[in-house]
């Protein structure tokens, strides 16, 4: 190839289109990873009406049998590294609860209060408070 890019023109076009599709003020999408339960979907953080929102994708799905599911933040980018399978329990004081999970499946959004500094957070987790079991997690930064 002479004087050109190693990326095919069609792929370059798709990459540009992907970037243009991201809403203004939104971070990249971050895919959830399995912990105790199978999971699908992703999340993004975006600004809307002067508020920061955590938005779960329409294809989000986790264990619908687990009670008392919460959306939480951890300062660790690898929150499961210091815990053990199968439940991946969390130690008190190592997370911040954002809200109760509205539904085990589907698009949903949560207002992130100003008291939660995302610069000090490393990941988002779906966590069962009743049994201290982590269902899924995703890093906040790629």
Taking only the tens place, the pLDDT of each residue in 65-122 is 999 999 999 999 999 998 999 999 999 999 999 999 999 999 999 999 999 999 999 9
**Residue 69 included in any domain:** yes
**Residue 66 included in any domain:** yes
**Residue 20 included in any domain:** no
**Residue 17 included in any domain:** no
**Residue 21 included in any domain:** no
Structure tokens at 112: 């992130």
pLDDT in tens, 40-55: 999 999 999 999 999 9
**Residue 126 included in any domain:** yes
Range of the domain at 132: 26-139
Q: Considering the entire predicted model, what is its pTM?
A: 0.81
Which DSSP letter does residue 21 get?
Answer: H
- The number of folded domains in the chain is 1
**Residue 33 included in any domain:** yes
Sequence-ordered strand ranges (E) for the chain: 30-31, 33-34, 42-48, 51-56, 69-74, 96-100, 108-112, 123-128, 133-139
**Residue 68 included in any domain:** yes
What is the strand order of the sheet 133-139 is part of? 33-34, 133-139, 123-128, 69-74, 96-100
Span between the terminal Cα atoms of the chain, in Å: 31
């Amino acid at each position: 190839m002479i004087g050109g890019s190693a990326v095919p023109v069609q792929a370059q076009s798709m990459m540009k289109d992907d970037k243009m599709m991201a809403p203004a003020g939104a971070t990249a999408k971050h895919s959830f990873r399995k912990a105790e339960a199978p999971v699908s979907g992703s999340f993004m953080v975006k600004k809307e009406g002067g508020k920061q929102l955590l938005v779960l994708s329409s294809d989000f799905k986790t264990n619908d049998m687990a009670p008392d599911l919460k959306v939480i933040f951890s300062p660790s980018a690898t929150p499961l590294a210091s815990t053990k399978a199968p439940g991946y329990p969390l130690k008190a004081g190592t997370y911040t609860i954002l809200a109760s999970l509205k539904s085990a499946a589907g698009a949903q959004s949560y207002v992130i209060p100003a008291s939660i500094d995302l610069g000090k957070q490393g990941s988002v987790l779906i966590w069962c408070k009743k049994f201290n079991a982590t269902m899924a997690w995703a890093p906040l930064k790629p």
